[in-house]
Amino acid sequence: MSGFVSFVGSGPGDPELLTIKAVDRLKRADAVLFDDLSSGPILTHARPGADMVGVGKRAGQPSPRQDHVSRLLVEYAQAGGRIVRLKSGDSGLFGRLEEELIALQDAGIEYEIIPGVPSAVAAAAACGIPLTRRMTARRVQFVTGHNVDGVLPEDIDLAALADPAACSVVFMGKRTFPKLAKALFERGLPPETSAILAEAVGTPEQKITRSTVTQLAGQLEQEIGSKPALILYGPLASF
C-alpha cells in the first residue's frame, strides 16, 4: 500500500513557532524530506530512526531539481509509511507546493497540508510592527523577487507594487531589488518610502535593517550576503 504524505509548514525557523499538529506529524514520520530553511533545531522533533533527506533549494547555490524532489517524494510514499515533506514558512507561499501535489495526485497518493507561520508574518513580528495600518495600509501584497531563471519577472505588476497605500513583501528579492526599486520609482513610488530588510528571521542569525527603498537598493547593489531574507516596504510603522 502507498504511504501518506503530510506537507508541513515549519514556520520561519524558530522551533517554538511550530504548530502542535506539525510536531505530531514529525514525531510519527518514517521519513522527512526537508528544505534547508527547515533544518536545524526543528528536526529534533523527528522520530529517532526516521530517514532524514535534505532536498532544499537555495538561490545561487547547487540545488536538486524540482522534478527530482517530486519523484523522490513519490518513491518514499510508494514504499509505504508516513512521510513528512517539511517546508519553510507556509508551504503554500512560494514553496513549490503545487508541483509536488500534482506528482502525488498522479501517483494516487493521499496527502494533507498543515499550514505554518508565514515568514512574512514572522518578519513583521520580529520587527515589532503590524503588516496593516488603519487608514494608511489597508492592503498587503506578497511577491516573488525572481523567476525560475533568477531574474526579476517581466510580467510583475509594477503598478500594484508602486501603490503607496500598500504594504509589500518581496520574497527572494535581494539580487533583483535594485532593479525593482528603479522600476517602482518610475511608476511613482516615493524614494523615501520606508523599507526593512529582515534576514534569517526566526534563527539566532536574525538581523533587521530599517532604511528606505532608496537606501536599501543602494545597499544591495554593493552586497547581498548569504542569509535568506525578506524585504518589506510601504507605509510601515516605526515604533
The residue behind cell 554593493 is 222
Where do the domains of the chain lie?
A: 4-114, 119-233
Flag whether pLDDT at 61 surpasses 60. no
Q: Give how far Cα 19 sits from Cα of 55, 89, 114, 167, 192, Å.
A: 22, 12, 9, 26, 38
Phi, psi dihedral angles at 68 (to 5 degrees): -70, -45
Q: For residues 81 and 57, give the distance between their C-alpha atoms in angstroms, rounded to a whole number.
A: 25
- Give me the active site residues, please: 35, 57, 172
The residue behind cell 500534482 is 102
Summarize pLDDT for 158-203 with one digit per residue, the tens: 999 999 999 999 999 999 999 999 999 999 999 999 999 999 999 9
Write the CB contacts of 201 (distance below 8 Å, at least 6 apart in sequence).
12, 13, 119, 122, 123, 126, 230
Name the residue type at position 10: S
Q: Please give the model's pTM, rounded to 2 decimal places.
A: 0.90
Topology adopted by domain 4-114? Cobalt-precorrin-4 Transmethylase; domain 1 (3.40.1010)
pLDDT band at 40 (very low <50, low <70, confident <90, very high): confident
What count of Cα atoms within 13 Å lies in the side-chain half-sphere of residue 59?
20
Tell me if residue 114 falls in helix, strand or coil. Answer: strand
Q: For residues 130 and 198, give the distance between their C-alpha atoms in angstroms, rounded to a whole number.
A: 14
Summarize pLDDT for 115-134 with one digit per residue, the tens: 999 999 999 999 999 999 88
The one-character DSSP state at 206 is: -
Query: How many Cβ atoms sit within 10 Å of the Cβ of residue 118?
Result: 22
pLDDT band at 39 (very low <50, low <70, confident <90, very high): confident
Topology adopted by domain 119-233? 3.30.950
